[in-house]
Structure 1
């Protein structure tokens, strides 16, 4: 059969395109397409060469792994090639792999093989050469035959031992593995890049590759890289175990990291179960994986199976559904949120990615659009990982036709027509304010804007807020659309007959909703504070404000500097709270709610530990006087004893203050010359007196029983709880005085782990943090709550 011209032309086109992608990935470290796109091109070329063997040539990408690396590093020739793996994209491919292995080994039907399985880390493959137990060379995989010498860079990784532990290692031992960047480290790295107005990395793999190819090892040392070994290469002058899994365990004993998820399973069914289990756990891992690697466990069987030109016959990578895909950005629309923030949303040509069809993606804000350089009409790479909102991570500029259009922020709100203004960022410090433009644009229409009103009401009635059961988003949208509700207080003016007009409501359900709204008039102060939707105030901060201040009125009056003495309240959050409470519109909303009979459970005095707790030197420090730190504040407090003599002081008096530097005296005098600063100082002291925090206020004697049993302890909940929801568990822990965190650290007191617990459980075990399962947790709760 003659070779059709169209087939020959397509094969040449595929070779050119694949080589170009290889160049960008291996040489420039600037991948232009996601793995799924590269895999499709490679598969298509493989299929053509299978059907038309005469197409195969030594120059074909199917006959080698990738292009030779850049010349910035010395070349290293691998003594044993670092070959790639064939891919399985579905269960049929996996079943075919197992069947081929059994046939080549001549196994009887039903005879079961052991397979070593481990996650396919999304990083950079490297080779580490140890001689007499010491690291002498590290190299990249490169094209599989020739890599780059990156020894100096790899030596900076703490997960790579410079000398092997124990004894009995071969005279020469080549360890192969993956250098990767955990997700948390990747996010921190990009945050730092954005803060420095530098280019960010597309994904953790790209970041790892770029970090390893730095000519300055000092830069690599600052990057959050880790190494995990997955096989060996050259082994001379010694013996290693004769199964893959046992060999990795031996490497681990010598100080090399292996993946904690590695398992040995039996047969195809064992492989399927492992693949499905890791697929469910994938998003909980601390690092990116794009599939599972399955290897015949026995090394003697691996030798019998051998290799094809670019891959071993005894191993395969079973890929997960792609988390990155290419599609076209058709248009950018703008949505209005609860706080009026105008958020750009990408409308995409629908594409299947991460297991679902995606047609929308977040663009965050206009600064993100500028960073990406995205235009309407662009072809883009979309990423979706688990339940994370799809996002655009890269523009493919090579596919631009010239018809793409710039994205412009609207001058008027797309919902209500009000003006759109750019927010300002105020950086405060040492008595100064530095104002810059923020990344967010906001509609100024407030509750006049139907979108803001709708989102504010949805938040107001939510479970962690007023917890009004039966009032869903659709019902709220109808109430707003029919102008039955124009503010949160209007909910308490509704009658049963109003609900009967809504779709899905009958007499009983209308009465139930009416009663649920009425019952919400009696509410915990913390829930009400959270329901107000104060910027930067989540449910945890709301609980702290309620517990420490004790009343809504104190919160409404509290000055920013006073709020900063409360736990976990920084100056910027304090100003957000103060500005919200002083805004005339917000004051009217709160007054209207109180007029509708809202009453708070458990209002109280200032928390006992805060009463009389603020000394004069603490007040002086908080007033942020240039040149006056803790020592200077203590010197001023000791000399003046009260605030007024300090405010009346002049240079001649300040000179008499012991241990007060000239710089501090100059700072005090500069503040005393500012009437606004003096007024702020007096007002802050007056509020400390009014609230009972002032040093002259007599603190209550602490009652022995007032100390909550988990006070000062940080707990973490992970996995799925079966006897209660995570939120219910959190409520009970908070009631006992615990702080409930979303991450595990050395300061974590206890982790509660249910089924499906992933990276948090692993970190707890690594740090030696106590872990309770749900049964033990329930017993502990019962003991504490009954004490």
Structure 2
């Protein structure tokens, strides 16, 4: 339950705060942001505790609670950190307080927690609503909601409508106090496949409603604590089964080490269960009597939750990446978070239009999930800062397949992408020349257009900061090797949108042959239709493209012009001239 959020998440929050990640805000703005988020959390608390509603997922709520604690630590460290304040009408004291359980991060943490402990059992962490059952002289006298751990709301009237709860038990004890979980009964639920099913919210809603609901008959109960029961957990399980709480024994397994815990955790995650779970809990016999239990001090139990399908992070900045064809992709730089086995530091959210639809900027909180092939994606924006300072975004109309063939400051991103493309094995195959090398050359001012690096000498390259003379000689050698690449590779380097199949089928070996091709001629090649053919011809006649082709010709690229190739050019030129003269004569007639 959210009532113990600060205690349960303190270790994680402290770790975040230790990193020193504080927003660069003025005191006035910090006060506004903290007040706005505090108000929202209070609203959610009221909906959850008073109305039985769950308008936000537990994961999103927890994430925003942590964020608020971080802000408070940064700007108001002398004030008490935010803590959920249940606004239920519950005023009945629990005979034994709910302690909560410690959260363990991973298998190593499980191993460390288990050291020195004996008689340990593992159970599924049933995802439902925590309660206290009180039996006096064997009769059910009270069923209390967890509330704040000390006091809860009396639900005794609804207990009689839940068949899974025994109304009486065979015991000679004056009072028996049990703690457990009300859950929505499932049939063959597979956590790995089915997820949470919103089960907890359904149970909370059914219990909070003033009227009765048929859902009560579908609830089950899982007892996970008998504060003053037998010392040996095996005896507790046997007695609970005799009283009608058989699920506890059925879903409890003795464990001796972290490997066995991990095995059961994975088995229950993949297997078929009668309830929704969100992890496992390891139990040892309590070392204190029930009267001494306090919230946050249940050191005899620890939970290892399943890796969530979604995690949340704060946006540090918004970046705009411009690809070699002029396509703009918006990337969110994030405070690093762990998602499955990946550390996510940035996420691509797509186009400018998508970014504007999401309305996300630095300081906002986003929820992430893994898409196909393990690629992180933004699921939703769960919080937006009050002050909306939008970064300057590039204009999509300024960039296309013909833009940034020469360098200028506004063209830096696309131009660098074009240079990096040249190194690809399928293009010019300039091995050992990474994006960082192109960036050094670009920053030095030695590259002015897409192919100007061909004219550099080893001495000029060695003048670039961070490049030694030996490395400069290697770079020059790699550059020089590209001169042997065939025409189709240079066509790809230029960025002409010709399909690979067409490039392979294209017999042309010199630039003149390429430039003389008509729209109809291009359509004879595989994969090229009328629209694409027209675009290729238009690009070949573009002034910048023609200048680059002229430069390459001056550099004798591609190398090794054949006599056959030259004759083909001459024949096409003669044919073109004949067609021009015939058209002229026809016009005169």
Name the TM-score class by shorter chain. Answer: 0.3 to 0.5
| TM-score, normalising length: structure 1 | 0.37
Greater C-alpha Rg: 2
TM-score, normalised via structure 2 length:
0.47
